[in-house]
Amino acid sequence: MIFLANFVLGIVSDNYIHVSQQLAGTHCCHKSAARLPPSNHTYRYDNIQPISMIASKLVPKAIDNARKKGKDIVLAAIQLFLNQGYAATSMDRIAAHAGVTKQTVYRYFPSKEELFGAVLTQVRDAYANAYVFGTGPVVDELTEFGRQLLAFHLQPEPLGLYKLMLTEGVREDLNPIFMSLGPQRVMQPLVAFLERRCDALEDSAFHAQMFATMILAPRTQLLMGTINNINRTAQKAHVEKVVALFLKALAPYLEYLTHNVTRSKK
């Protein structure tokens, strides 16, 4: 990106110098060149925009174009990974699908693994923001977290990437990338919340993992074909049942509970 900005600045600088020399009545670097023909127009040098001002208009556009090209590559990779699998998708095919050269793909993503990491990040950020736990009743906080977690994982692209991980994650050594950009980022806020709100809970990470596993049970059912879909109403009912069961197990450790496990209907 820095190279691109400097490249644009170089073009602007050359044009600026050339225009200045023309206005002065000389040609580039030849002192003996004929002067420009007379004109009724009086040139004002103070009207010429500084290089920095011209570049400020050109560079953002060039950067936007570069960002768009990078995003096009990632979107092409998402489609191909989901339709053909990770191993079967070559960088050549991704380049062709994105409408760029393979060299361009490698300038943005030096390896296929880095491109896969960008795919995970794009899908994660496109569908959901990380849930921020507040100071409300434990039951409400867990329910809202569970709703967002389940809704995200039932979307086509997250569901497809999880299926890809089940089939190719170990063979292609993708698990470290997936864990660092996916589950670990999701679980850390939940673990921290349980540590803040529970007394004497010995292993918050274990309990957070058990909670997430129960919340995501419908995802497994979808992948196995035991259910065809789960609508919003069914998702809400599932999450509330899981939260009620989870809080019963944690009751001895909770700092406080609401009057009972049932949350107020929204």
pLDDT average per 10 residues of sequence, the chain (266 residues): 42 39 41 48 48 60 84 96 97 96 95 96 86 92 96 94 95 93 88 87 92 96 89 96 94 58 45
49-74 pLDDT, tens digit each:
555 555 566 577 778 888 899 999 99
User: Considering only CA atoms, which of 265, 142, 260 is closest in space to residue 212?
Assistant: 142
For 204, 219, 256, the CA distances from 199, given in Å and listed in that order, are 11, 31, 9
Residues 81/89, Cβ–Cβ less than 8 Å? yes
Measured in Å, how far apart are the chain's first and last C-alpha atoms? 47
Spatial contact of 261 and 244, defined as CB atoms under 8 Å apart: yes
CATH number of 138-250: 1.10.357.10
Burial of 158 (0-12, 13-18, 19+ CB in 10 A): buried
Of 81, 84, 69, 153, the closest CA to residue 113 belongs to 81
The rounded percent of the chain whose pLDDT value lies above 90 is 56
The per-residue pLDDT for 63 is 82
Handedness of CA 7, 8, 9, 15 (dihedral sign): positive
Cα 5 to Cα 1, 11, 17, 54, 80: the distances in Å are: 6, 10, 19, 12, 31
Domain boundaries, the chain: 2-127, 138-250
Q: How far apart are CA 226 and CA 240, in angstroms?
A: 21
Domain 2-127 matching CATH 1.10.10.60: the answer reads: yes
* Residue 86, pLDDT score: 97
32-53 confidence digits (pLDDT tens): 444 445 545 444 444 555 555 5
Question: Does pTM surpass 0.85?
Answer: no
